[in-house]
Amino acid sequence: MERDAMKAAAALAAVDEVTSGMVLGLGTGSTAAHAVREIGERLAAGRIEDVAGIPTSLATEELARELGIPLLEPGAAAIDLAIDGADEIAPDLALTKGGGGALLREKVIAASAARFVVISDDSKMVAALGATFDIPLEVAQFGLGITATALRGLGSPQLRTAGEAPVVTDNGNYIIDLAVDPIRDAAAFDAELHMIPGVLATGLFVGIAAAAYVAGSSGIRRIEAGAPA
């Protein structure tokens, strides 16, 4: 099974958790887009009804509107279930996210949902976060040099660019990708990053995911938080 087919299979399995009447957090990125499309198809077919979504990016908002998914503003209603992808998944379901640049909005929605599930293929499974993917940080434009200098004490920061221009998030901020050694204590490292003025959100999602749907060559594996490894 090709990687994109694995992502689609994981998304379909996660969307099976969606029931009529739910308010959903709609993730961002290629894997999450599979879930958004599946939700739209099930709504159109009448398999689910009275579902509304809260998107985590302008791109997801546009996709959801194209699919006819009713949308709500954040805070308009409690979120029953959020579904999103990840760049790394540790054994305890701590995540690295933000490759698509929507990490602040993704974290707001994931952390506020009654249940947050992550979808991926098995290439995202790692023994420790930071092993295969730099840690994305959404940072303020003001004082960028000061923030970057402070981050050098924790790793190697690199401003994310598109061509020669900095990437600007939907919130008007920049992204720094921080190369680090594999992280032993993700919660402690996340707290340390948040102590640096200018860091608005980190791509470390610790203690947020309730379950992961991970697709591999042998099928879909569902991993519940707190379950034995």
Q: What does 158-172 look like in DSSP terms, one character per residue? A: EE-EETTEEP--TTS
Q: What single-letter DSSP state applies at residue 183? A: P
pLDDT confidence of residue 100: 95
For the chain, the distance separating the N- and C-terminal CA atoms, rounded to the nearest angstrom, is: 25
pLDDT in tens, 134-176: 999 999 999 999 999 999 999 999 999 999 999 999 999 999 9
The dihedral over CA atoms of 220, 38, 96, 99, expressed in degrees to the nearest 10, equals 130
Distance of alpha carbon 27 from the chain centroid: 6
pLDDT in tens, 83-130: 999 999 999 999 999 999 999 999 999 999 999 999 999 999 999 999
Q: Tell which residue, 104, 127, 206, 189, has the closest CA to residue 155.
A: 189
Q: What topology is assigned to 3-126+206-218 in CATH?
A: Rossmann fold (3.40.50)
User: Which option is the CATH number for 135-202: 3.40.630.90, 3.90.550.10, 3.30.70.260, 3.40.640.10?
Assistant: 3.30.70.260
pLDDT confidence of residue 12: 96
Domains in the chain: boundaries: 3-126+206-218, 135-202
Q: Is 68 exposed, middle or buried (0-12, 13-18, 19+ CB in 10 A)?
A: exposed
What is the percentage of the chain residues whose pLDDT exceeds 90? 95
pLDDT in tens, 24-38: 999 999 999 999 999
pLDDT confidence of residue 217: 87
* Per-residue confidence band for 198, with pLDDT thresholds at 50, 70 and 90: very high
208, pLDDT greater than 80: yes
Catalytically active residues, by annotation: 106
For the ranges 30-39, 65-74, 216-225, the lowest mean pLDDT is seen at: 216-225
Give CA–CA dist 184/149, Å, rounded. Answer: 23
